[in-house]
Amino acid sequence: MSLTRVLFVAAAATVGLGVALADQPFSSELDARKGQFKMLAFNIGPLVGMAQGNIEYDAATAQMAADNIVALASLHQTRLWPAGSDNESIDNTRALPAIWENSEDFAAMFDDLGSAARDMQAAAGTDLNALRGQLRALGGACSACHEAYRQPE
Amino acid sequence: MSLTRVLFVAAAATVGLGVALADQPFSSELDARKGQFKMLAFNIGPLVGMAQGNIEYDAATAQMAADNIVALASLHQTRLWPAGSDNESIDNTRALPAIWENSEDFAAMFDDLGSAARDMQAAAGTDLNALRGQLRALGGACSACHEAYRQPE
């Protein structure tokens, strides 16, 4: 495929997204950041399910889920959170203005998530007790940020 | 936060997602895999924009986008693609049955994406010519998989 063709396909995809949500400010940012949280939830799910006993412990599945959370927590966040994309400025987001008023704290909470995720990565594939031992810190990192920076439902 | 509380919050979130799309089979898988492609598109966007000259080249932005693509391409895919979640079996997906008929090839295409992403990661922060030099391979990895395994719009 030529570079011109690659650029054309990419541009067409961008236009397509723009048409679908033409009236939604920051639609691609909202799609992307919701996407990342869907991915995080999808990977925390089996760890919680195993800890609760609702899913049988499987070391390989637990390890892959933890690996994925580490990768997701490592993503650079800068472009995802433009000023004006809070829930008082636009619809379809629960992101509180406090994110932008406390941007260093918000960034530090992502670092906390990364730290808890790496601890889980080192434990999840060992056994169920090791997984359970790291889940409080990982779930706590999620919840701390949600409580500070996400509008309650 | 107690472990019980963490588990309760996680379970409540899971139930919430389930209620929203109770009639959609594989709704959490679809949300998560669409989320990952939204994130990929969001990060390829600035690289394409810079290559086209629509966005001014910025080494830090290009580097962060490339880093993110590497992280996203590294995600374990196993749980995202359960049998029966193709576009002939369920609605709201463009995933062709060929994915499951050629699962090794499909996995190899994700490996190709990872390889192209790492080459981009090594180039994107250098200068615009280096970025342009890797964009064909990266865009080609996206397009090759879309052409083989995604229903045309």
What's the 3-state SS for chain B?
CCHHHHHHHHHHHHHHHHHHCCCCCCHHHHHHHHHHHHHHHHHHHHHHHHHHCCCCCCHHHHHHHHHHHHHHHCCCCHHHCCCCCCCCCCCCCCECCHHHHCHHHHHHHHHHHHHHHHHHHHHCCCCHHHHHHHHHHHHHHHHHHHHHHECCC
Decide if A1 and B143 are in contact by the 8 Å CB cutoff: yes
Whether B33 contacts A70, CB under 8 Å: no
Q: How close A93 gets to chain B, by Cα (Å)?
A: 15
Model confidence over B71-113: pLDDT tens digits?
999 999 999 999 999 999 999 999 999 999 999 999 999 999 9
**Structural domain includes residue B8:** no
**Structural domain includes residue A69:** yes
Which pLDDT value is given to residue A19? 46
Cα gap B93→B87, rounded to integer Å:
5
Residue A81, classed as helix, strand or coil, is: coil
Backbone dihedral angles phi then psi of residue B95, each to the nearest 5 degrees:
-75, 115
How many separate domains does chain A show?
1
**Structural domain includes residue A114:** yes
Cα gap B108→B117, rounded to integer Å:
14
Decide if B71 and A68 are in contact by the 8 Å CB cutoff: no
* pTM, entire model: 0.88
**Structural domain includes residue A144:** yes
Question: Which residue, among B80, B77, B69, has the nearest Cα to B113 in the 3D structure?
Answer: B69
- pLDDT cut 70: percent of chain A above it: 86
- Interface check for A108 against chain B (CB to CB < 8 A): the answer is no
Hey, how many other C-beta atoms are within 10 angstroms of the C-beta on A108? 12
Which pLDDT value is given to residue A116? 98
**Structural domain includes residue B6:** no
**Average pLDDT of the residues in B117-126:** 98
Model confidence over A19-71: pLDDT tens digits?
455 689 999 999 999 999 999 999 999 999 999 999 999 999 999 999 999 99
**Structural domain includes residue B13:** no
Residues of A in contact with B136 (CB under 8 A): 1-3, 6
Indicate whether A6 pLDDT > 60.
no
Which pLDDT value is given to residue A23? 85
Angle among Cα B84, A32, A34 to the nearest 5 degrees reads: 75
**Structural domain includes residue A13:** no
Model confidence over B11-62: pLDDT tens digits?
545 544 444 556 899 999 999 999 999 999 999 999 999 999 999 999 999 9
Pick the residue from chain B with its C-alpha nearest to A132.
B3
Average pLDDT over all residues of chain A: 91
The CATH number that applies at residue B107 is 1.20.120.10
User: Where in the sequence is the domain holding B101, given as residue range(s)?
Assistant: 24-76+86-149
Decide if A6 and B143 are in contact by the 8 Å CB cutoff: yes
- Interface check for B68 against chain A (CB to CB < 8 A): the answer is yes
Cα gap B11→A51, rounded to integer Å:
12
Please give the structure tokens belonging to residue A53. Answer: 């006993």
Cα gap B152→A26, rounded to integer Å:
26
Backbone dihedral angles phi then psi of residue B55, each to the nearest 5 degrees:
-125, 135
Decide if A139 and B36 are in contact by the 8 Å CB cutoff: no
Hey, how many other C-beta atoms are within 10 angstroms of the C-beta on B108? 12
- Interface check for B1 against chain A (CB to CB < 8 A): the answer is yes
Indicate whether B127 pLDDT > 60.
yes
How many CA atoms are closer than 13 Å to the CA of B108, on its beta-carbon side? Answer: 6
Whether A123 contacts A138, CB under 8 Å: no
Q: Give kind and range of the element (H or E) at residue A33.
A: helix A27-52
Question: Which residue, among A140, A141, A133, A134, has the nearest Cα to A112 in the 3D structure?
Answer: A141
Indicate whether A3 pLDDT > 80.
no
Model confidence over A75-88: pLDDT tens digits?
999 999 999 999 99
Residues of B in contact with A85 (CB under 8 A): none
Which pLDDT value is given to residue A15? 46
Higher pLDDT, B15 or B117: B117
User: How far does CA A147 lie from the centroid of its chain?
Assistant: 15
